[in-house]
Amino acid sequence: MLRLMRYLKPYLLLVTIAIALLFVQANADLALPDYMSKIVNNGIQQGGVENAVPQAIRQNEMERLFLFMSAEDKSLVLENYLLVDSTSANYAALVETYPRLSEEAIYVLDTADETVITTLSPILGKALLAVSSIERLASDPEMAAAMGQSLGFDLSQLPPGVDLFTVLKALPAAQVEAVTAAINERFDALGESMINQMAVGAVKNEYIALGMNTEKLQSDYILRMGNSMLLLTLLSVACTIAVGFLSAQTAAGVARDLRRDVFRKVESFSNAEFDKFSTASLITRSTNDVTQIQMVIMMMMRMVIYAPIIGVGGVIRALGKSANMWWIIALAVVILLGLIITVFSIALPKFKLIQNLIDRLNLVMRENLSGMMVIRAFNMQEFEEKRFDKANNDLTGISLFINRVMVVMMPVMMFIMNGVSLIIIWAGAHQVAEAQMQVGDMMAFLQYAMQILSAFLMMSFMFIMLPRASVSAGRIADVLETGISIEDADDARPFGEPFSGQVEFRSVSFHYPGAVEDVIHDISFVARSGETTAFIGSTGSGKSTIVNLIPRFYDVTEGAILINGTDIRQVTQHDLREKIGYVPQKGTLFSGTIESNLKYANENASPEMLKEAADIAQASEFIFSNESGISAEVSQGGANFSGGQKQRLAIARAIVKKPPIYIFDDSFSALDFKTDAALRKALKEKTANATVFIVSQRVATIMNAEQIIVLDEGKIVGKGKHHELMETCEVYRDIALSQIGQEALK
């Protein structure tokens, strides 16, 4: 994957925005369990009262609280509470909320600063618990005894109806402090969270005493938290959609760029590079392999970045709810990692085989489709079916093995997650029973644990997808990084003017890459403008190799090829091929129309030029006998035309280009003798000033050429005109006599 990272550079902005949105989404998702905890703890259990800091409190009740505060705490409380009575300016508004205000003065909280409220909460919480505890002394002998010991007398001996707070107010400050210390000593062991939770009951009782609608207070709190959760959910959904769009945009863009560059690279390949990669493999690399990378990029942007944020954030928030249960998450993570590593080690070697097996399947399929007529002619359908089944079953077997490994993961993951849920509920219930944890916090811890495990689950899927994508990326990088054996020279220059189509071979030798022996050796000749140079020889003598060297489909191993006096390696390939009209033995047509195929050589060609080229190539008869004429459809590969028709259309295409050099590589082989003769006659008139190369096995096709070159085992064994070679070249004479004899039999 690292070899292709440069393709992400154009999309760094999209990736950055996606990462920012993932942080927002993760924080929104992580906040939801906390809000759920507040609904359970504060909304349901505490009746909508959030903390031990009452929004309002009666004056006489506040004075009771002051008994159990230090002077410093009392001053802090008074700074943040406002005493309101019937003479206050905001009396009318407050009396509707606090009906008791009509009977007595109350203190109203005068701050919304969370930091101040957090500071006040333990101060007021302990004081509220102290007051409520004293009010319950009659039912708590242990507390009464402790307070009596602090005061120095038995509280049970007080006359009935005596107000303890009146007694406490009358006592010296030292004794009151002793009582406060005795009460605080019992509360300190609870912790601030439990003090806050226990004091909430006293706050709620005070609200009832003030005449407030506590049911509305509870429902308003639950609705407020619920609305916040809804907004967070909508924010998370919006981020998910946006990240999905950005990840799809990035992945599709990278895939498009990869396909474009692979295609451009393959277009620049010479035949030497094509020998390294099969056509089926190149198709797989530019389709299936690119799709694998596209899918992984999209999933990485949506999951790989999101999962660690959720995982780390979930751990932090879960420990904030209960640090004592960290071992549950740690145990689950260790088990998950063990499972992921096991699956990864089993599946990885198999992923490396899949793409090669897809190559093999594509190869067999392509050979069957292109060679269907041959297969039927030799009744080899059964053999080919077995060959296809072998490739298909090999791929299926590997795919099934990987899927079986993958299938095991989901039930094991669910077992782990359900087991973790049970352990959390079991351990959390004990902590709730011991007043060390609230029910809502336990539920939030459970949700955070699920989020953490889900994050690891997402990561595990990516760990399984990445190996296959990594293999695909390596295969694509191999194509992109393949060195081009035929490149333009740094100091390339155009052909000189005036241009002449003269072609000269100077002691040219050539062997294919990796081969030891030369295919052609020490070839020298000159092909002049206005003349036809023909090549003939036995199969494998090097005829097509020679003409393939002219447009630089291969580069010569030794010697040089000059056109217009310039070494063809000193001009650009584009300029070189602009001067050449090439017609291969197998006429290649492209899907579209006859017109689009002919204009492939010259997109600006006029209808008259196309008609003229068709006439010369002897193609007008079958073109214009059709109602559609030149607009007739051409199917893929020209499958709706015969071999001879395809050859004539390919010749017409080269004629439309009007180049100074023509190369016909056995391009008349599918034509009958009559059509062949008519075509060559018309072509001779059209190409009177061009250099023409003809490769042919037929003597009749080349016998009128100004120069015939006879090849045998890669060497020139004869050169001259037909009548000269009949006298001087035994190889040519044998070929000619064998063909003349065959024609005489017809």
d(CA 578, CA 561): 16
Question: Same domain for 84 and 163?
Answer: yes
- Asked if pLDDT for residue 165 goes beyond 60, the answer is yes
User: What are the pLDDT digits (tens) for 469-487?
Assistant: 887 888 888 888 888 878 8
Contact 520, 508 (CB under 8 A): yes
**322-326, 475-479, 597-601, 631-635: segment of lowest average pLDDT:** 322-326
**164-173, 660-669, 728-737: segment of lowest average pLDDT:** 164-173
Q: Which of 179-188, 452-461, 703-712 has the highest mean pLDDT?
A: 703-712
d(CA 649, CA 405): 55
Query: Is 320 inside any structural domain?
Result: yes
Question: Same domain for 197 and 269?
Answer: no
Residue keyed to tokens 């403008």: 529
Query: Is 442 inside any structural domain?
Result: yes
Query: Is 384 inside any structural domain?
Result: yes
- Asked if pLDDT for residue 18 goes beyond 90, the answer is yes
pTM value is 0.72
- Asked if pLDDT for residue 601 goes beyond 90, the answer is no
Stretch 516-521: mean pLDDT, rounded? 88
CATH number at residue 641: 3.40.50.300
pLDDT for the residue 80: 92
Query: Is 319 inside any structural domain?
Result: yes
- Asked if pLDDT for residue 710 goes beyond 50, the answer is yes
pLDDT for the residue 461: 72
Residue type for position 342: T
Residue 8 has what DSSP assignment?
G
Cα–Cα distances (Å) from 492 to 205, 556, 573, 641, in that order, read: 95, 17, 9, 41
Query: Is 66 inside any structural domain?
Result: yes
Stretch 357-375: mean pLDDT, rounded? 80
Question: Same domain for 134 and 74?
Answer: yes
- Asked if pLDDT for residue 497 goes beyond 90, the answer is no
| pLDDT tier, 258 (very low <50, low <70, confident <90, very high otherwise) | very high
C-alpha 581 chain-centroid distance: 43
| pLDDT tier, 743 (very low <50, low <70, confident <90, very high otherwise) | very low
d(CA 108, CA 95): 11
Establish how many alpha carbons lie within 13 A of residue 48's alpha carbon, considering only the half-sphere containing its beta carbon: 18
| pLDDT tier, 744 (very low <50, low <70, confident <90, very high otherwise) | very low
Beta strand pairing call for 532-537 and 633-634: unpaired
Domain boundary among 643, 658, 673: 658
Establish how many alpha carbons lie within 13 A of residue 336's alpha carbon, considering only the half-sphere containing its beta carbon: 27
Residue keyed to tokens 């197998």: 586
pLDDT for the residue 176: 63
User: What are the pLDDT digits (tens) for 286-309?
Assistant: 888 898 899 888 888 888 888 888
Considering the chain, what is the average pLDDT of its residues? 84
Question: Same domain for 66 and 208?
Answer: yes
CATH number at residue 327: 1.20.1560.10
Contact 309, 458 (CB under 8 A): no
pLDDT for the residue 745: 29
Question: Same domain for 333 and 430?
Answer: yes
Burial of 127 (C-beta count, 10 Å sphere; 0-12/13-18/19+): buried
3-state secondary structure of 332: helix
Query: Is 664 inside any structural domain?
Result: no
User: What are the pLDDT digits (tens) for 205-243?
Assistant: 888 998 888 888 889 989 999 999 999 999 999 999 999
Question: Same domain for 418 and 310?
Answer: yes
pLDDT for the residue 278: 75
3-state secondary structure of 136: coil
- Asked if pLDDT for residue 712 goes beyond 80, the answer is yes
In terms of pLDDT, which residue wins out, 62 or 371? 62
Residue 422, domain extent: 2-23+237-480
Stretch 32-40: mean pLDDT, rounded? 89
Burial of 410 (C-beta count, 10 Å sphere; 0-12/13-18/19+): exposed
pLDDT for the residue 746: 36
Domain boundary among 658, 685, 709: 658
Query: Is 389 inside any structural domain?
Result: yes
User: What are the pLDDT digits (tens) for 524-564?
Assistant: 999 999 999 999 998 888 899 999 999 988 889 999 999 98
CB atoms within 10 A of CB 326: 12
Number of domains in the chain: 3
Question: Same domain for 202 and 258?
Answer: no
DSSP string for residues in 458-484: HHHHHHHHHHHHHHHHHHHHHHHTPPP
Question: Same domain for 77 and 132?
Answer: yes
Question: Same domain for 135 and 260?
Answer: no
DSSP string for residues in 366-434: HHHHHTHHHHHHTT-HHHHHHHHHHHHHHHHHHHHHHHHHHHHHHHHHHHHHHHHHHHHHHHHHHHHHT
Domain boundary among 196, 212, 228: 212
pLDDT for the residue 672: 82
User: What are the pLDDT digits (tens) for 103-141?
Assistant: 899 999 988 888 899 889 888 888 888 787 776 654 555
Burial of 643 (C-beta count, 10 Å sphere; 0-12/13-18/19+): middle
CB atoms within 10 A of CB 440: 24
Element (H, E) at 655: helix 643-657
Stretch 481-499: mean pLDDT, rounded? 84
pLDDT for the residue 742: 46
Query: Is 663 inside any structural domain?
Result: no
- Asked if pLDDT for residue 267 goes beyond 70, the answer is yes
Question: Same domain for 164 and 259?
Answer: no
Residue 87 has what DSSP assignment?
T
Cα–Cα distances (Å) from 383 to 72, 378, 379, 380, 388, in that order, read: 98, 10, 9, 5, 9
Question: Same domain for 169 and 261?
Answer: no
Question: Same domain for 371 and 331?
Answer: yes
User: What are the pLDDT digits (tens) for 603-649?
Assistant: 888 989 999 999 998 988 888 888 888 888 988 878 888 888 888 89
pLDDT for the residue 532: 92
Bridge partners (DSSP) listed for residue 596:
none
| pLDDT tier, 692 (very low <50, low <70, confident <90, very high otherwise) | very high
